[in-house]
Amino acid sequence: MQVTRRRFFRVCANGVAGSSLALMGFSPGEALAETRHFKLTRSTETRNTCPYCSVGCGILMYSLGDRSKNVRSRIIHIEGDPDHPVNRGTLCPKGAGLLDFVHSPNRLTHPEVREPGGKEWKRIGWDEAFDRITKLMKDDRDANFIAKTDDGLTVNRWLTTGFLAASASSNESGYVTHKVVRALGMTAFDNQARV
């Protein structure tokens, strides 16, 4: 927190009762009494990045609720972030529809799998999903990993699996993704947020 030359002014009932307004002959009584009839609501404006494409537009998400445990926050509006250097407050039609995407009843909220030859998607747990991905990756890598080229050069190559990472990732998650993927030997590697 940076301390500035700004000073604070308390606006309270006692202060208003003895304020310039009262001393000039106007009555603050009604204004003070009125306060009892009102409540405050809380909302937030949160900066984020549009998840769709590699342009990486800045967005402002408006939500209701005070983030306390017994109140469920709800995003009520999304617009382009006017201060963002990429899009300056604008959004494309897909970005402008983000609110519906957030609240879509068809949104996938859990892992599903359609096994080879199967016709149906079936719901699985997160642990099961991670285990399955890990196992399949390891099987494929064990079967196809290239440790040496034909002329005897030591390499780290796993050419039968590729990796596509998401847009709207932070620098840090980009760094970690890169470390993991390259260490495994994958060369087919792309990132949607390749801007």
Partner 1 sequence: MSSRILQPGEIEQPASAIPELRLPAVDVFDSRAARFRALAAGNTIGACLGFLAQVADAQQSILQAGSLPRVADAAQREQASRAGMPPLPAQGAARPPGWTRVFRSLLEDLSRQALPQKLSAQLAALMHSEDAWLDQQAANILAARHEQLDLAAAPLIAAALQVIWTAQAATLTPAEVGPILQRSLCPVCGSHPVASVVRIGAEVSGYRYLHCSLCNTEWHLVRVKCSNCESTKNIDYREIEGGAGAIKAECCGECRSYLKQFYQEKAPELDPVADDLASLTLDLLLDEQGFARSGTNLMLFQGTE
Residues that bind partner 1 (CB under 8 A): 1-28, 30-32, 34-35, 38-47, 60, 66, 79-83, 88-89
Q: Name the minimum Å distance from CB 17 to partner 1.
A: 7
Residue placing its CB nearer to partner 1 in the complex, 5 or 110: 5
Of 108, 94, 109, 102, residue with least CA distance to 61: 102
Let me know: does 78 contact 90? Beta carbons within 8 Å. no
Residue placing its CB nearer to partner 1 in the complex, 64 or 113: 64
Q: Name the minimum Å distance from CB 29 to partner 1.
A: 9
Q: Name the minimum Å distance from CB 21 to partner 1.
A: 5
Q: What is the 3-class SS of 71-111, one letter each residue?
A: CCCEEEEEEECCCCCCCCCCCCHHHHCHHHHHHCCCCCCCC
Residue placing its CB nearer to partner 1 in the complex, 20 or 106: 20
Residue placing its CB nearer to partner 1 in the complex, 38 or 126: 38
Which bin fits 160, alpha (ψ -120 to 50), beta or left (φ > 0)? alpha
What's the token pair of residue 68? 């306390």
